[in-house]
Structure 1
Amino acid sequence: MKMKVFLQAYNVWEAVEPKDPKTVIEDKADKRAMAMIYQSISEELLLTLAERTTAKDMWEAIKTASLGADRVKKAKAQTLKAEFESLTMKDSEQLDDFCLKLNGLVARIRALGESIGEAYVVKKILRAVPTKFLQIASALEQFGNLETMSIEEVIGSLKAHEERLSGQVESKEGQQLLMTEEEWSKHEATNGKLLLTREEWLQRSNRGGNQRSRERIDRSKIKCFNYGTYGHFAAECRKPKRDRVQRGEANLT
């Protein structure tokens, strides 16, 4: 388009696309048009046009090369658009990382000549966020004008909501930790220590360790849980073992 306007401004456009195909182009006008085309193209493209002898032939070659480049750009733009549509934010993903990825795709699509509106991107963001943003996304859709809302406004609202959710999670964790410590202290005050030393456990369970430790204990205070008599451990009792009901009757007696 720029080359066409440039050639028209110098009155040599007729050498490229004459109104009447039968019109004979002056050699001077044709050379001027060729010189202007050479000044407007890159060196890589210039080498491919070295064998062209007229401005019209050069113009057709440039159109063909540009057509192929346009097809490649359109194919790449379609691929990026498909990636844009399938993009979703994960629950564990940070909002800044997701928006950076989204904005990068939008910039690449626009750089390829494809138009993508601001409102379209805003609606995509609200569709792509996880369930933790569902409340703020619904509020923006119901009470906000998505057609005039900017991407920065939507991201700012979602960011504020993310910070508020983060504060609530930290507060709940702190309350849960304090509750656990309080319950632990209450349990110790009611039931005593949860952990016993080996000696304490042996004494409370009426189980002696080795023979020497048993000899140091005053056996007159040791009660046999089998028959309820004193003077020995239940494990040392030589009488037949009784069941729980029999032991209860003996103890009651």
Structure 2
Amino acid sequence: MTTSEKFLQPSIPRFDGHYDHWSMLMKNFLRSKEMWNLVHEGLPTPVIGTAPASEAQRKSVEEAKIKDLKVKNFLFQAIDREILETILDKGTSKAILDSMRQKYQGSTKVKQAQLQALRKEFELLNMKEGEKIDSFLARTLTAVNEMKVNGEVMEPSMVVGKVLRSLTPKFNYVVRSIEELNDLNTMSIDELHGSLLVQEQRMQGYQEEEQALRISTTSEEGFSHLNSACELNGEEQNEATEGENMNTASSSSNSSSSGTTPNEENDVLVEGRGTRNMRESA
């Protein structure tokens, strides 16, 4: 056996209290090992007769016993110690599995009660707001598989109809389109899943485009407000400058009306100061 084949060996399914699920996994595991027929039919017994068993028959029985020991080893690894102690007296792997089935599979009444509860849970199952299609389909198919394990017959059309009825309102137009373009009686769950995923991706793309457009619009409005503020400040500065110019012009006008220029007024002030100084000296 190569290293790659060694790492690809399937793991032994552990018994977790749910017999139906565990037995399905164990059955598939033993089939992959080509040992299920031994568990299902039991050890071959030599034919009792006058003639002794041939060498080939004895060899076949011995090989079957060795295989049975390997199966028992798998079962011992899959079962907890507390349960294992109750089946150690079983001589063959078939006897062990029969004992497990009788103890943990449950009676018909128990299975019917479980099925009723699962049916109610299935009917109340609905897609949550913001939930992804993959997540909702996973929850739905989990409920369907549990119902099947307990004996319920679930046609694909029943599951398809339930999924379409349980989607959020934003998928209403998608549901109408699927109902118009497809025969729900022949549509598979995988086909429905694929169609819903495509529509979900389109919705997500539209939402991203709207968000980008909203951000762009907000940025443009911000720039517009900024430009308006700048223009308003510029107008206020212009008005202030015009006011200063008007005040300067008014002062000049007053000086002109008195008949003197600014230079003449300065000369008068200088002469007045000189006369005052001469008087103080005298």
Output the TM-score relative to the length of structure 1: 0.52
The residue number in structure 1 matching 2:69 is none
The residue number in structure 1 matching 2:65 is none
Taking a change above 3 Å as real, the CA distance of residues 108 and 137 of structure 1, as seen in their structure-2 partners, is same
The residue number in structure 1 matching 2:134 is 96
Q: Which has the larger radius of gyration?
A: 2
Q: Shift of residue 190 of structure 1?
A: 2.4
Unaligned runs of 5+ residues in structure 2 are: 1-40, 42-93, 238-242, 245-282
CA distance in 2, matches of 1:102, 1:76: 17
The residue number in structure 1 matching 2:192 is 154
For 2:230, which of 163, 187, 192 is the aligned residue? 192
The residue number in structure 2 matching 1:42 is 99
| Partner SS, residue 114 of structure 1 | coil
The residue number in structure 2 matching 1:79 is 117
2:205 is the alignment partner of 1:167: yes
Q: CA RMSD in A?
A: 3.8
CA distance in 2, matches of 1:193, 1:114: 76
| Partner SS, residue 184 of structure 2 | coil
The residue number in structure 1 matching 2:271 is none
For 1:123, which of 161, 181, 186 is the aligned residue? 161
The residue number in structure 2 matching 1:181 is 219
CA distance in 2, matches of 1:172, 1:80: 41
CA distance in 1, matches of 2:187, 2:100: 45
Determine which structure has the larger helix proportion and give its number.
Answer: 2
Q: Deviations over 1:173-193 (max 9, x none)?
A: 111111111121122222228
| Partner SS, residue 105 of structure 1 | helix
Q: How many residues align?
A: 154
Q: Shift of residue 143 of structure 1?
A: 2.0
Q: Shift of residue 134 of structure 1?
A: 0.8
Q: Deviations over 1:128-150 (max 9, x none)?
A: 00111111111111221000000
Q: Alignment identity in percent?
A: 32
CA distance in 1, matches of 2:205, 2:191: 21
- Divergent runs of 4+, >2 A: 38-41, 43-46
CA distance in 2, matches of 1:69, 1:186: 76
CA distance in 1, matches of 2:217, 2:164: 37
CA distance in 2, matches of 1:82, 1:139: 29
The residue number in structure 2 matching 1:109 is 147
User: What one-letter code is carried by the residue in structure 2 that aligns with 1:175?
Assistant: L
| Partner SS, residue 139 of structure 1 | helix
Output the TM-score relative to the length of structure 2: 0.47
Higher relative contact order by CA 8 Å / sep ≥ 6: 1 or 2?
2
The residue number in structure 2 matching 1:141 is 179
CA distance in 2, matches of 1:117, 1:97: 21
Taking a change above 3 Å as real, the CA distance of residues 71 and 164 of structure 1, as seen in their structure-2 partners, is same
CA distance in 2, matches of 1:141, 1:106: 22
| Partner SS, residue 163 of structure 1 | helix
User: What one-letter code is carried by the residue in structure 2 that aligns with 1:70?
Assistant: T
The residue number in structure 2 matching 1:10 is none
CA distance in 1, matches of 2:163, 2:101: 41
| Partner SS, residue 129 of structure 2 | coil
CA distance in 2, matches of 1:77, 1:121: 16
CA distance in 2, matches of 1:106, 1:137: 21
